[in-house]
Amino acid sequence: MLGAAAVSRAAQGAVPEAASMDKPATQPPLAPPSGRPYNPVVTLNGWTLPWRMNNGVKEFHLVAEPVVREIAPGMKANLWGYNGQSPGPTIEVVEGDKVRLFVTNKLPEHTTIHWHGQRLPNGMDGVGGLNQPHIPVGKTYVYEFTAKRPGTFMYHPHADEMTQMAMGMMGFWVTHPKDPSFMRVDRDFVFLLNAYDIAPGSYTPKIATMLDFNLWTWNSRAFPGIDPLVCRLGDKVRIRIGNLTMTNHPIHLHGHEFVVTGTDGGPTAPGSRWPEVTADIAVGQMRDIEFDATDPGDWAFHCHKSHHTMNPMGHDVPTMIGIDHRGVAERILRLIPDYMVMGERGMADMGEMEMPLPDNTLPMMTGTGPFGAIEMGGMFTTVKIRQGLARNDYKDPGWYKHPEGTVAYEWKGAPPLAERAAPAANRPGATVKVRKPTGHKGH
Ligand SMILES: [Cu+2]
């Protein structure tokens, strides 16, 4: 349905048809129907925009417009995006391609598109007022340039940016190398980090929020709405991540170490790479990470800021650990029937409790795995590594079935002796030397 071949000959010379996507599920990679060959990427909970070839130029049509995005089952948001979705579709081209992008503005205000990371003529760079007039409501502008440099890029408005990015206007761009064997991988995933401030029970982001966002999303999806990244055992896997939020995100992969093989500046020199399990991605940065999927399982993959793996909550909840609510709760319940005691033993109860939520609101900690509540939200999903998948199979294989004897288990023998650290001074033979700091005060 989305094939570029669908563009009729009669449409040649006119603006190409704008394909649209209404499903939030990850779409299969779009094998290039025309042009030079490349290994397509998979956009997490997204899709790649089809194009048409017109006299050797790859033509795309982006439509900036209001969209409704399902953030996760049970919650939808009124966002702005491109071609039916936020983020917009991924643009995939090949190094050296001549590219023409038609951009139609169906927003209620003017916009532009900046092509983050590209080498292009200054007048195509998309900064409204600086490089071009803004695209007025209802008008279509054309951007033309050659995709000179292979790499990982993004696009977003450079017009009323705080509003337009807070509303979800952004998309991914991959320029594939002209030699498809260069840094070839078996699976190549892409997504953008984004964030919204949507009050529980409402649908539209607050656009004046500067830092205190409450929904932390990957491609405008929050756990458990983020699809797993499905990999075949033994695959070489690349994940490309761009950050268009207003804070950094240390992205952490379990069970495998990776190397950063590229940035929005291009591939990193092999001698500059070192192994990591967490890559901090600063505001406006992109990182390509690569690893070998050597170990089967459902491996957590998430932002390491613990409040970014949660959905909205009242931040002003006092710490209640160790406080006995009995009696107090009963008295409050007489006044507020839905009142619920929170956090007396920590917050883990939040993962399973059934507190009435306002409509269109995600639970703060949610998701259920094979062993119970996962107690996550926001920027969390799994990398699911399985033996024997087909090369092009990205379907969720379900939960991992752990081989017998490979899951943490309860100790049922005699209680083990608890070792306690003795104060150093009491340990036989220990001497403590106190070295006074010099030149520093106030520690
Ligand atoms: Cu984060």
**pLDDT tens readout for residues 86-124:** 999 999 999 999 999 999 999 999 999 999 999 999 999
Concatenate the DSSP letters of all residues of 185-225 into one string. Answer: -SEEEEEEEEEE---TT--S--TT-SS---EEEETTB-BTS
Record the pTM: 0.85
pLDDT tens across 267-300, in order? 999 999 999 999 999 999 999 999 999 999 999 9
Residue 434 resides in a domain: no
C-alpha of residue 304 to centroid of ligand 1, in Å: 6
C-alpha of residue 305 to centroid of ligand 1, in Å: 5
C-alpha of residue 401 to centroid of ligand 1, in Å: 29
Give the confidence band of 443 by pLDDT, cuts at 50, 70, 90: very low
C-alpha of residue 303 to centroid of ligand 1, in Å: 5
Residue 305 resides in a domain: no
C-alpha of residue 118 to centroid of ligand 1, in Å: 26
CATH number for 231: 2.60.40.420
Residue 326 exposure: Cα atoms within 13 Å on the Cβ side: 2
| 326 burial level (CB within 10 Å; 0-12, 13-18, 19+) | exposed
Residue 339 resides in a domain: no
**pLDDT at position 317 over 70:** no
C-alpha of residue 57 to centroid of ligand 1, in Å: 38
Q: 204 lies in which domain range?
A: 16-300
C-alpha of residue 251 to centroid of ligand 1, in Å: 7
Q: How many domains does the chain fold into? A: 1
Residue 228 resides in a domain: yes
